[in-house]
Structure 1
Amino acid sequence: MMISDRDVLLVIDVQNDFCTGGALAVPGGENVVPAINRIAQKFTNVALTQDWHPADHVSFAPNHRGRQPFQTIELDYGTQVLWPTHCVQGTSGAEFHGDLDVTRASLVVRKGFRRQIDSYSALFENDHKTPTGLLGYLRERELKTVFIAGLALDFCVRFSAEDARKAGFQVAVIEDACRGIDLDGSVAATHRSFRELGISIVSLEAFL
């Protein structure tokens, strides 16, 4: 696959808390790191996202008396999954995985730092209107195609891909450089959404 200077690799939330031993471990999460490192070498433009929550964040189950992780509540912006406390600002769990090569990144987008709203997408928070700043970066740099890898396929990768596609970019998800949580059929729902929106699925092999 030929990569141009109008393409960008968007690496989603490859952080310690989403890897084995972390507070919200995605099964096999750390296995995406070697693939992402190899792919990133092909790109002039690389951006990273980093979940960056305050300890009292509204999405954390322990902040709601009587609630358990993976239950849902209704907030102003819709249904919110309650998660174990994870990626708290300044903790080791919020740091990028130690083997992830971050040297090629020209941008790090921190998301989920507002206490009252969660943020899955790299472009907008979960109200679908509060921007993270990434959309402006993509447009200012006149980038055209967004390749996405990272964690987790069925949440932050999915929402990022959907928002980028709706914003007018070509979008390709590198599925074998992602891992999913699969909560109540969420991986299958992700694949359906990608088909409906015209989001491509590509493999690591295409870059080698």
Structure 2
Amino acid sequence: MQVLLVVDFQVDFCPGGALAVSGGDEIAGTVNDLAARAPYVVATRDWHPEDHGSFIGVTVDPADWKGADPPSIWPVHCVQGTPGAALHPGFLQGPVNLVVDKGIAPNAQGYSAFQDTNLAADLRALGIDQLVVVGLATDYCVLNSVLDAIHEGFGVTVVREGIRAVDVADGDGRRALERMATAGARIVDAADDVVFTA
């Protein structure tokens, strides 16, 4: 069975938010199209405590930090219970079956939907073995979620029109797509390229 995984389509990652991804809100149509057709929909949320170690100004012992990037590099974003942490209002959430909060531990980066969550076990319990992935941002949370999903044994399809990149360095999004493809993800251009099977 397939699932649609919507990664961090949240207010703070869209224009006007604390850590806005250029064009982040533009994925709404693709996300909603796929969600309306998917047999099961999972949405993730960055759900950080106020003292999360990724935030600028928060002091973290590097020996205690779990993450691919160093601590203290991002502006404060997606703090638990704040308006910025909410799923984007353009995302029609009626079809959502499960919301997974991530990045809760103060000493863990939490880019991946599978880091310190029960998502892999929950999907297996439902008989899900294929993921269609959209969301924000291509070069961080989407990338790490896709790589971990493949590591966990799931087949993954990434929909290019349903993702946007931060591109801290020019080309980061393109390189992230290349990494996902090299790891075994199928990359398709549009929602119309996805046919869900139960």
Q: TM-score w.r.t. structure 1 length?
A: 0.86
CA distance in 1: counterparts of 2:9 and 2:65, whole angstroms: 28
Q: What residue number does 1:3 align with?
A: none
Pick one of 174, 178, 187 that aligns with 2:159: 174
1:48 aligns with 2:43: yes
**Unaligned 5+ runs, structure 1:** 1-5, 66-72, 125-130
Amino acid at match of 1:205: D
Percent identity between the two aligned chains: 37
State how many pairs are aligned.
Answer: 190
Alignment of 1:1-208 (within 5 A): 6-64=1-59, 76-77=65-66, 79-80=69-70, 82-124=73-115, 131-184=116-169, 185-202=171-188, 203-207=190-194
Contact kept, 8 Å, 1:62 with 1:85, in 2: the verdict is no
Contact kept, 8 Å, 2:181 with 2:187, in 1: the verdict is no
CA distance in 2: counterparts of 1:34 and 1:106, whole angstroms: 19
CA distance in 2: counterparts of 1:89 and 1:166, whole angstroms: 28
Q: TM-score w.r.t. structure 2 length?
A: 0.90
Contact kept, 8 Å, 2:133 with 2:142, in 1: the verdict is yes
Contact kept, 8 Å, 1:74 with 1:80, in 2: the verdict is no
CA RMSD of aligned residues (A): 1.8
**Unaligned 5+ runs, structure 2:** none
Displacement, 1:44?
Answer: 1.2
CA distance in 1: counterparts of 2:192 and 2:57, whole angstroms: 42
Displacement, 1:150?
Answer: 0.5
CA distance in 2: counterparts of 1:75 and 1:149, whole angstroms: 31
